[in-house]
Amino acid sequence: MKKIIISAIIASAIFANNSFAEEKKDRRDHGAKMFEKMDDDNNGAISKTEWQKHQDEHFAKVDGNKDGALTQDEMKAFHEKMREKFKEERGKKEE
């Protein structure tokens, strides 16, 4: 019985470690994709202009009523929308 419990603990640890490693890789991949998306001229660097363009685009996505100002409700709604999107994407990867 002790061997079964120890084996189950080891198997769980291995599974958890693999899941963590995969999640870490996904975050690195996401970072690389974001960099590539922001580097408009593909020179391997993000200029201040490229950075600002990305920030302006992000601001526009969060500004739900397009009044040029962000409220806490708009930010909360945007983050909830993104959370749902990431849950869906994670679900697709697990299938």
Question: pLDDT by residue (tens digit) across 25-73?
Answer: 666 688 889 899 999 999 999 999 999 999 999 999 999 999 999 999 9
pLDDT in tens, 4-33: 776 667 766 666 555 555 666 666 688 889
Instruction: Say what the pTM is.
Output: 0.59
Residue 44 tokens read as 């391997």
Please report the pLDDT score of residue 88 as a whole number: 86
Q: In this structure, what is the dihedral angle of CA atoms 70, 74, 75, 81, given to the nearest 10 degrees?
A: -150
pLDDT higher than threshold 90 for residue 94? no
